[in-house]
A and B are shown apart, each in its own frame.
Chain A
Amino acid sequence: MPELAASAGPGRLPGSGPVFAGQVRYQLLLTMRNPRALVAGIALPLLLLLLTSSQHAHLAVSALAGRVVLGVTLTAYLTHASGLVAAREAGVLKRWRATPLPRWCYVAGRTCATVLMALASGAVTVAAGALAYHARLSAGAALSLLVALTLGALAWAGVGTAITAVIPTTDAAQPVLSLSYFPVMLLSGVLGALSGAPRWLSTLLGYLPGQPTLDAVTRALHTTGTTLSLPGHDLAVLAGWAIGALLASLRLFQWEPRAPR
């Protein structure tokens, strides 16, 4: 019996550009309607900012940077990774894989939406901090902040994507993600600098993505002129994490639920 020819399907596939834009829109919609994302990315940093402002008349730049980085990384890492695991376990990723959507488009679209949400989180926290303490943000600070937060969010979202390969179920997601996130962030000083940390720990933290994100954001907030002011070493570390996580994800990312459905 003759087979249907492979070219029998008429019509051209939509181009990558519109498909990617559609994915970003779709993922943004999902994230904005996810109460967990809003609590972690917006409400929690604002609450911490409010608590700080009730105790101190002046807000240290490092404290604001900590709240900003907390919201951004919670969004880029915890929300992003747990959402991916949930989508995989629900069979959503399996279904996407069977569509004409290029695989890179799903992951890139989701990462892009996460970075945009993380930037929104950072913007809201910075705006709230500036409003509460009558502070002004210079053009250089805004630009530097944009670069630092984008790179930080990309690195954390990349790591969040890669780590889903070792998380078998949604039940396992919270402990794995919390244990890999909170120690790093707390030791990095996101809620206040630690004193007396051994040298080896400080060195190690300098090469994990928490401390460089915080340092880059702190320096960006200190910028007074109109030019970029960013720590090269920290940005290089973040770029390294983003690229390393991308390569790991390309090799290890799982599209199907671990348990048979």
Chain B
Amino acid sequence: MSAITVEHLSKRYGELDALRDVSFEVPAGQVVALLGPNGAGKTTTMEILEGYQQPSGGSARVLGSEPRRAGRAWRARIGLVLQSTSLDAQLTVREALGVYAGLFPRPREVGEVLDLTGLTGEAGTRVGQLSGGQRRRVDVGLGIIGRPELLFLDEPTTGLDPAARRQAWTTVERLTADGTTVLLTTHYLEEAQQLADRVLVLAKGRLVADAGPDELRTRGTLTKIRYPLPPGAPAAELAADVDADHGELLVHTTEVTAALHALVGWAERHRIELAGLEVGPPSLEDAYLALINQLPGDSAAQQEVPSHA
């Protein structure tokens, strides 16, 4: 069954085409990551699916309804975490969750949500006194309190420290184990790799890729060879492939045997052990950047993926 069906969706803001002929489906129970550079159309897509915006053309159906015209019963079946936090600072975490819980037919227990979001210790704290990361977790809590069938997560872990981000991933994984469908946007490719069953890549308003994370990684014919150079290693012969900033050799190649042969020869000549050598398909981030960079225009210049998220 399909939770989201998007057909030939377009959106214009004056002269700007924010979305052009975008079509995809999200089956129920799947986690789909919507990726793309800034201005690619991710938030526009999310806002159309959430019912905030009217498309200029095409159609979008979410849980069987047109979002802009859907009523209360439909809104009780979705949950959303907006890109920016949107909370009343004067309420405690427990109060905020309790107020929202009262709107839904079969909400989660407040205690369960506190546990899922790791906020049990902050239940009695006013939202205004929480750190940015904790507020983000309250946002996530409000998104899931109604036990949604479909959850929209718009950059849910932006601003979280690595430990909190991993906890957020665990929360999403527990939700999806219950069959919740999730559509998320993120700038963290590691997050998409960890959570998503499928990745949609938008660039300049067009859908340029729709594949599983592993399929996207291995779709190209390139293989990645990475070797962290030991201090003082004579890297002059490898200069073209050395990433000076990170002190490592980094090669993306289709001629794996020849590249490895050259590397092993270099190591033998200088009596260097190739400790830490990695050979494999490119990461999702590599595949994503390659995809964006090969598009015409200046998409690559706009991309904003943390290189070591």
Interface residues of A (CB under 8 A from B): 1-6, 8-14, 18-19, 22, 26, 29-30, 33-34, 87, 90-92, 94-95, 97-102, 256, 261
Bound CA–CA A87/B86 (angstroms): 8
How many B residues face the partner with a CB closer than 8 A?
43
* B82 and A95 contacting across the interface, CB-CB below 8 Å: yes
Interface members, chain B 233-260 (any A CB < 8 Å)? none
Interface secondary structure of B, over-half rule: loop
* B65 and A1 contacting across the interface, CB-CB below 8 Å: no
- Asked if B1 is at the interface (CB within 8 A of a chain A CB), the reply is yes
Bound CA–CA A95/B52 (angstroms): 10
* B2 and A13 contacting across the interface, CB-CB below 8 Å: no
* B76 and A94 contacting across the interface, CB-CB below 8 Å: no
Q: Chain B 96-119 against A: per-residue CB contact (8 Å), 1 yes, 0 no?
A: 000110111110000000000000
Identify the closest chain A residue to B53 (Cβ): A256
Given known A3-B5, A34-B90, A99-B100, contact A91–B106 (CB-CB < 8 A): no
Identify the closest chain A residue to B70 (Cβ): A6
Bound CA–CA A203/B154 (angstroms): 54
* B28 and A92 contacting across the interface, CB-CB below 8 Å: no
Given known A3-B5, A34-B90, A91-B85, contact A9–B72 (CB-CB < 8 A): no
* A101 and B103 contacting across the interface, CB-CB below 8 Å: yes
Residues of A within 8 A of B2 (CB): 1-4
Bound CA–CA A9/B103 (angstroms): 14
Interface contacts (Cβ under 8 Å), in number, total 112
Bound CA–CA A4/B64 (angstroms): 6
* B91 and A29 contacting across the interface, CB-CB below 8 Å: yes
Residues of A within 8 A of B28 (CB): 4
Identify the closest chain A residue to B87 (Cβ): A92
Partner of A29, one of B74, B75, B90, B105: B90
* A13 and B105 contacting across the interface, CB-CB below 8 Å: yes
Residues of A within 8 A of B95 (CB): 26, 29
* A6 and B90 contacting across the interface, CB-CB below 8 Å: no
Q: How many Å from the CB of B276 to the closest CB on chain A?
A: 43
Q: How many Å from the CB of A71 to the closest CB on chain B?
A: 21
Q: How many Å from the CB of A41 to the closest CB on chain B?
A: 16
